[in-house]
Structure 1
Amino acid sequence: MIKFHAKTRLTLAALISAAFLSACEQPQKEESKKEEPNTAFESTYQAHSYHPVLIQNATILTAAGDRIDQGSILFKDGKIVAIGQSVEAPADKNLEVIDAEGKWVTPGLIDVHSHLGVYPAPGVDSSADGNEMTAPVTAEVWAEHSVWPHDPQFELALAGGVTSMQILPGSANLIGGRTVTLKNVPARSVMEMKFPDAPHGLKMACGENPKRVYGNKGRSPMTRMANIAGFREAWIKAADYKKQWEDYENGEGNGKAPKRDLQLETLAGVLDGEILIHNHCYRADEMALMMEIAEEFDFQISTFHHAVESYKIADKLAENNVCSALWSDWWGFKQEAFDMVPENVALVEKAGACAIVHSDSPTGIQHLNKDAAKSMASGNAMGMNITPEKAIEWITINPAKSMGIAEQTGSLEAGKMADIVLWDGNPFSVYSKAEKVFIDGALMYDRHDEKYQPVSDFQLGQYDLEVDAQEEGAL
């Protein structure tokens, strides 16, 4: 499990033991297990309890189009209650009032493309679990089955203001497997981190990666035309599988249920609109081809990731309602990533398409606000006049839309989850830091209070050694 501080281990252990004993005392349901729905791998996330909080006198970027100067936001029981120029403090003795004069408030940051947990730190082969490089199509695998919740990188992302993230498999395969959306909270299992009711995504990759990985093995695909053929073959099989199940459920055919196939089950979920496509794709021409495949098989692409050439087809992306997850200035590390412009994010925004700044990096996820600032500056250098209230959408509500969770989080609006960051200054300044981070209204990180600076079990032994050395004057 993960604790907030090494010194609290005995207290937390006692609390956890009590929780387990309490669970054991609950009466068992009389219904047989067969009659209950299958709840395997469902989210067991529980929001932490916390007292009501009123933040006053802050500059608030709502990510809902508004900037509120000298604004206030009230949240309790995990939800945003009120936000505006003036919010009346409720008569509640437990209310905490924070004077945020000179500080800024934003929604919790959301990274649509992360590999934390599946490529944890330390980066060693024994825990590198993000790429199932055994076949071009591995839709049967789920990233969440590789997530290590003790990855110390989760806490570093939290300190950067990241409250939710999507964890994806790697990009070696044409179809790499399911993604999972997580709340960035300490947990003992991935199910305790899973964002409630968030849809799965499906990671796909076009271009260089699949043809290089399998071409080097002397296998197909080794060309881009084989990439496209591989996609189409997979979707043909999925469409047939989907029809078999529909026929069975409608009482047609031989009356025998089709044999369950994990790979085709995931692909059929896309065709049913239940699983969202997240497509690693750099070049504009290949993005256009992928949208043709989506039209052929009647599914929607949610987002192109690493899409360094989105600016070339931004109008088509807007027309097809496809988001672009982009870097501010990371490019040129391979041929298909060469034709980048630093105004990419801003040009996608200008075309009316959904622009997102993402990380794909355990370091970059700690600085999403700075990458958004760089993209804003690049756009403004072209005369686009992008404001902070627009740029904040690239790292909050737009990724939430891409991941299918925008109804719950991503903007500061009454009724939404109280995923909130209090910054000590303008979040688009290189000098500003996240001061407090709230997830579902509970304080999960405080830069000035060690009690709210999570430390994972994996780090505790190292942490204790360091503390002992400091007390002995060795450090």
Structure 2
Amino acid sequence: MRQLLTRGACAAALVMALSACASTGDSASTSEAPKRERAPMAAGLDAAANPDPYPSTYRGLPRENLAIVGGVVLTGAGQKIDNGVVIVTDGRVAAVGDASTPVPGGHRVVDARGRFVTPGIIDVHSHLGVYPSPGVMGMSDGNEATNPNTAQVWAEHSLWPQDPGFNTARAGGVTTMHILPGSANLFGGRGVTVRNVPSVTMQGMKFPNAPYTVKMACGENPSRVYGGRNQSPATGMGNMAGYRAAFIAAQDYREKWDKWRRTGEGTPPTRNLQNETIAGVLDGSILVQNHCYRADEMALMLDLGREFDFKITAFHHAIEAYKLAPRLAREGVCAAMWTGWWGFKMEALDGIEENAALVDVPQNSCAVIHSDDAELIQRLNQEAAAALSAGRRAGMNISEEHAIRWITLNAARALGIADETGSLETGKRADVVIWSADPFSIYARADQVFIDGALSFDRFNPAYQPVSDFELGQPGYGLSAANVREGAR
């Protein structure tokens, strides 16, 4: 456990805050892990009998009931409340209102006067844990670059929970992350949504009941990786042919299983993990997170979805999303974007800083700011602020209480968890950040971060600032900011 703790073993303050025990199933706080009943041996051949074989054991850190009072509250759902009150009871938001909101007895009062209060930040595109620091070949676990279709691999099986990047992301207000495989392949594998809490295991971080996702990649990456090996795909048309062939195979696989489940005749089909994931896309249980830069290629992917009757949940990076913003909104597709990253390869040349603001204009739009970077994840509020400023300079009247959803509620929507987190609304998880200043200011820092109502980071209390051995350094070893990954962006 030494890597997870600061300044000695489980001192009392650390037990309350960030001990590994709190997120690996030993805590006395709320248990959320679903109870499992072992399926009969015959049914075990059917993935539907056990759709989550590596279930969450997340318990949450030790928490208390709170009343956060006096701050400027940006709810994430469109409201700004001066001198607001956020009531947290049993790890959930119990009430949000103005200064007249009553504080229940027994709730600890947190004074947020002069500060800002927002939902926890959600990063929909992270590689923490699969491309951790130290950035060495032995830890470069994000791209299974062995075949254009590796839908059978799951990022959670590579996730190293001791990555120091989780600590620094938490200090930046990030409470939930979506960890994805890299983008070397047409189908890179499944992604996993995690709670940003210290844990010995991936299961101890795994967001309970969050939908699985699959990473797809269009454009230069797969054709560059495999074309350079004299394999297919080597071109954009090879990419499209590869997607179509994979969905045809998955359709056939799904039909065979459906027939066996319906009739029970004969032996069940042989399980195929690759087809199993893509069949989950076809039935809507697995959400497509699609790495795609160019507007024309996004349009092709939307047409592919129509051909095989599946939905793309979000385009990631989406440098040219502004060119088809009305269609994205009409079809309910989110676009996860940077503000200032562009021009680093041909398909990224036509980026503009107003991208997120323009995507946000149509009704039912879903603009999201993401990181794809172990350092940018620490300041997603600043990346959103830059997008907000660019939109305002272009004449768009965007309020801060609206723009905060780019890193909160819209991000939750893109991951299928908006009913649980992403906004400060009654009944949702109490994922809360108290900022030293307006979060859209370059001077703002996260003072306190609460996850499910538990204090998980405190800028003023070293006991709530975990430092791992990998951050402190060890003799003969050094940290490297460079990730040694092929097809990373």
Q: Any residues of structure 2 matched to 1:168-187 within 5 Å, and which? A: 168-187=180-199
User: What is the 5 A alignment of 1:155-170?
Assistant: 155-170=167-182
Structure 1 counterpart of 2:236: 224
Aligned partner (choices 89, 104, 117) of residue 90 of structure 1: 104
Alignment partner of 2:188: what SS?
Answer: strand
CA deviation map 1:412-454 (0-9, x unaligned): 0011000000001100000010000000000000000001112
User: Which whole-Å CA distance do the structure 2 matches of 1:33 and 1:325 have between them?
Assistant: 38
Match of 1:47 in 2: 60
**Dislocated runs of 4+, deviation >6 Å:** 10-15, 19-23
How many Å apart are 1:351 and its aligned residue? Answer: 2.3
Shift of 1:455: 2.5
Deviations 1:319-355 (A, max 9, x none): 1111000001100000000011111000000123210
Change (3 A) 1:429 1:189: same
- The corresponding residue for 2:4 is 3
Q: Does 1:244 align with 2:256?
A: yes
| Number of the residue aligned with 1:65 | 78
Q: Which amino acid aligns with 2:241?
A: A
After superposition, where does 1:268-417 map in structure 2 within 5 Å?
A: 268-352=279-363, 353-417=365-429
1:80–1:216 CA distance, 2 compared to 1 (3 A): same
Q: Aligned pair in 2 of structure 1 residues 283, 52: CA closer, same or farther (>3 Å)?
A: same
**CA separation in 1, counterparts of 2:268 and 2:451?**
43
Contact 2:73 2:118 in 1 (8 A): yes
* Distance (whole Å) between structure 2 residues aligned to residue 387 and residue 325 of structure 1: 19
1:35-64 deviation per Cα after TM superposition (whole angstroms, max 9, x unaligned): 797463100000223221111111000011
Q: C-alpha displacement at 1:72, in angstroms? A: 0.6
CA distance in 2, matches of 1:297, 1:450: 53
Is 1:116 the counterpart of 2:128? The answer is: yes
Structure 1: tracts of 5 or more residues without a match: 24-28, 464-475
Answer yes or no: is the 8 Å Cα contact 2:4–2:162 preserved in 1: no
Q: Which of these residues, 49, 63, 69, is aligned with residue 56 of structure 1?
A: 69
Matched residues in 2 for 1:207 and 1:21: separation? 45
Distance change (3 Å), C-alpha of 1:204 and 1:383: same
Q: How many residues align?
A: 454
TM-score by length of 2: 0.89
Residues 192-247 of structure 1 show CA distances to partners (whole Å, capped at 9, x for unaligned) of 00000001110000010000000100111001001000000000000110110100
Paired AA for residue 79 in structure 1: R
Single out whichever of 262-271 and 6-15 deviates more from structure 2.
6-15
Instruction: For residue 82 of structure 1, give the secondary structure of its aligned residue in structure 2.
Output: strand
Q: Which residue in 2 is equivalent to 1:469?
A: none
Using the alignment, how far apart are the partners of 1:32 and 1:326 within structure 2? 42
Deviation sequence 1:392-420 (CA, Å, 0-9, x none):
00000001000000000000001100000
What is the RMSD computed on CA atoms of the aligned residues?
2.4
- Say if 1:321 and 1:9 are closer, same or farther in 2 by CA, change over 3 A: same
Q: Which runs of 5+ in 2 are unaligned?
A: 29-34, 476-489
Report the secondary structure of 1:285's partner residue: helix
Is 1:443 matched up with 2:455?
Answer: yes
CA shift, 1:120, in A, is 0.2
Whose radius of gyration is greater, 1 or 2?
1
Does the CA contact (< 8 Å) of 1:4 and 1:452 recur in 2? no
Q: CA deviation at 1:385?
A: 1.1
> 3-state SS of the aligned residue for 1:237?
helix
Instruction: Single out whichever of 83-92 and 54-63 deviates more from structure 2.
Output: 83-92
Query: Higher helix share goes to which structure?
Result: 1
* SS of the residue 1:122 aligns to: coil
